Amino acid sequence: MNGAVSMTSMSSYAILGCGSVGHAVAEELVTVDKNVLILDRDEGRVEALRDQDLDARTADIRNRAVVEAVADRDVVLILSSDVEANRVAVESIRAASDEKFIVARASDPVTADELREVGADVVINPSAVIADSALRALEQGELEHRAERLAAVIGDGERLAVLAHRSPGPDSIASAVALQAIAEANEVEADILYEGEIGHQENRAFVNLLGIELSSLGDVDLDDYDTLALVDCAKASDPVVDVDVDVFIDHFEPEVDYSATFTDVRPNVSSTSTILTKYVQEFDLSLPEAVATALLYGIRAETLDFKRDTTPADLTAAAYLYPFADHDTLEQVESPSMSPETLDVLAEAIRNREVRGSHLVSNAGFIRDRDALSQAAQHLLNLEGITTSAVFAIADDTIYLAARSKDIRMNIGSVLQDAFEDVGGVVGHSTDASAEIPLGIFTGLEVAGNNRETLLELTEEAVRAKLFEAMGLDSGSGDGSNGG
């Protein structure tokens, strides 16, 4: 069978079995000046079709004479409601030619498989098509309604504060940028606020290269704003703010009930940027290049470049954004230069690594740049034979840990939860997670003077033990190799 024929080059069609579905298809094809032949065994229906100036002939599609009737047709659509008759027609026409493009009507998955087996290129189920169309119409209607409500809430004041999550990553920043653009299109002034710091080098490059203006929450007074929106803040276990929230948008169910006036939570997509892209489309914004670039990077970062939990909605949103984005800037964001301290941390992590099976755990010692840990964990994941990496270090009075995994059997976020949830804070996904643990939990010692080396040894022993235990590895697992 030759399925490589271009549909756009096909100019002659045959429709076998012209019920309501076939009639609708025939009318559409004739509207675009296609040459259409209709075959149906109902003489009255054929006569009515002729009265509409359609080329219709009486024929039983189960009869092998049909093969000769459609011999000069490029595309054959077999759309009778009699699925057994459709199967006979497909089998006969395919046996006579490998070149025709055959579309056949099925009634259920079983008959669909049978039609494919005897030679149909495409199988359709009208009931499924109608249901899919109804769901798309419902989804579009819901989006229109949500967009109207969002615009009403935002437009209720003159100034909007958009708060990203603490030490925000690309998805949170991009979502805030998009909501700011939506607000400004509705003639509302909007500021993007955050707590913590812009950590990872890629995140700093992202903000700097796109010229994104962020303000520290501590430098503003929320009373100066009429409306407050939280984007991508669901993972916070404590309330992000102690004031009323007007808008809450996220792709995770929130751990705190904010009772916002407008809430849009969609766990069926993998990034908040995807949700905001849908609103950008619905509001029909003249999309600025920086906003499109930010949203595309937000989706790519949250889905690990479409390798983690990616949904059709994420792909559709990314496809929409792609032509508007600045890809040279994206390349610069994704390939920032490595700082000297990051190189030092990576070197220390390589030197202190312990490998058990395909799992690597390492201690990077005392650090100043906590962001370097996540980069070290990612680089170590690229070592031959490694499927999971975890790097920890001490900064001030806290143990910071970054972990990465490409092992589909392991959820690294759950591993860190099991290991450290009772002693510290853990955030992350199945492939990317981090933890912060108060130092005193493990040692009871202060970070000072002669205690530093002892502190490091105690921390290393405790963290390694809890990590390997949570991974299901005891002291005898794996090869026990160490760097050095």
| Number of residues in the chain | 484
For residue 165, the Cα-to-chain-centroid distance in whole angstroms is: 19
DSSP class of residue 61?
A: T
pLDDT in tens, 283-335: 988 889 999 999 999 999 888 888 777 888 899 899 999 999 999 888 888 76
Q: What is the pLDDT of residues 85-99, one digit of tens each?
A: 999 999 999 999 988
Ramachandran bin of 213, using left for φ above 0, alpha for ψ from -120 to 50, beta for the remaining angles: beta
Give the model confidence (pLDDT) of 213-253 as tens digits. 999 998 999 999 999 999 998 877 778 888 889 999 999 98
The pLDDT score that the predictor gives to residue 452 is 66
Give me the amino acid identity at 23.
Answer: H
**Whether 207 and 277 share a structural domain:** yes
Pair 145, 238 in one domain: yes
Looking at the predicted structure, is the pLDDT value of residue 161 above 90?
yes
- Give the up-direction half-sphere exposure of residue 343: CA atoms within 13 A in the CB hemisphere: 4
Residue 311 inside a domain? The answer is: yes
Looking at the structure, do residues 102 and 147 belong to the same domain, yes or no? no
User: CB-based burial of residue 430 (10 Å sphere; 0-12 exposed, 13-18 middle, 19+ buried)?
Assistant: middle
> Which domain covers residue 23, as residue numbers?
10-124
Structure tokens that stand for 67 in this block:
């093969």
CA-to-CA distance for 101 and 14, rounded, in angstroms? 11
**What span, in angstroms and rounded, lies between the C-alpha atoms of 352 and 346?**
10
Both 167 and 272 in a single domain?
A: yes
Share of the chain above pLDDT 90, in %: 39
- Band of the pLDDT at 350, cuts 50, 70, 90? confident
In this structure, the answer to whether residues 316 and 413 fall within a common structural domain is no
Estimate to the nearest angstrom the gap between the alpha carbon of 139 and the chain centroid.
18
Last residue of a domain, one of 289, 318, 334: 334
Q: Residue 399, SS3?
A: strand
> Which letter does DSSP use for residue 353 in this model?
-
Q: What pLDDT sits at residue 442?
A: 58
298 and 214 within one domain: yes
Tell whether 200 and 303 lie within a shared domain. yes
Considering the domain boundaries, does residue 53 fall inside one? yes
**Mean pLDDT of the residues in the chain:** 85
In a domain, 428, yes or no: yes
CATH of the domain at 233: 3.90.1640.10
Measure CA 198 to chain center: 23
Q: Is residue 255 part of a domain?
A: yes
Do 82 and 221 lie in one domain? The reply is no
- Here the CATH number for the domain that contains residue 110 is 3.40.50.720
Single-letter residue type at 328? D
**CB-based burial label for 318 (10 Å; 0-12, 13-18, 19+):** buried
Task: Please check whether residues 317 and 408 belong to one and the same domain.
Answer: no
Residue of 482, 270, 478 whose CA lies nearest to 387? 478
Alpha-carbon distance 332 to 349, whole Å? 26
Q: Which residues of 88-115 are buried (b: 16+ CB within 10 A; e: fewer)?
A: bbbbbbbeebeebbbbbbbeeeebbebb
Antiparallel, parallel or unpaired: β 55-58 and 75-78: unpaired
pLDDT score at 447 = 45
- Name which of 189, 180, 182 is nearest 148 in CA terms: 182
Question: How would you class 136 by CB atoms within 10 Å of its CB: exposed for 0-12, middle for 13-18, buried for 19 or more?
Answer: exposed
Q: Phi first, then psi: give them for residue 203, nearest 5 degrees.
A: -65, -40
What pLDDT, on the 0 to 100 scale, is given for residue 68? Answer: 92
Residues 351 and 440 in one domain: yes
* Shared-domain flag, residues 349 and 477: yes
Confidence class for position 482, pLDDT limits 50, 70, 90: low
Q: pLDDT tens digit string along 13-30?
A: 999 988 788 888 888 888
Domain shared by 113 and 198, yes or no: no
Q: Which two tokens stand for residue 51?
A: 């009265």
326: left (phi over 0), alpha (psi -120 to 50) or beta: beta
Write down the pTM of the prediction: 0.60
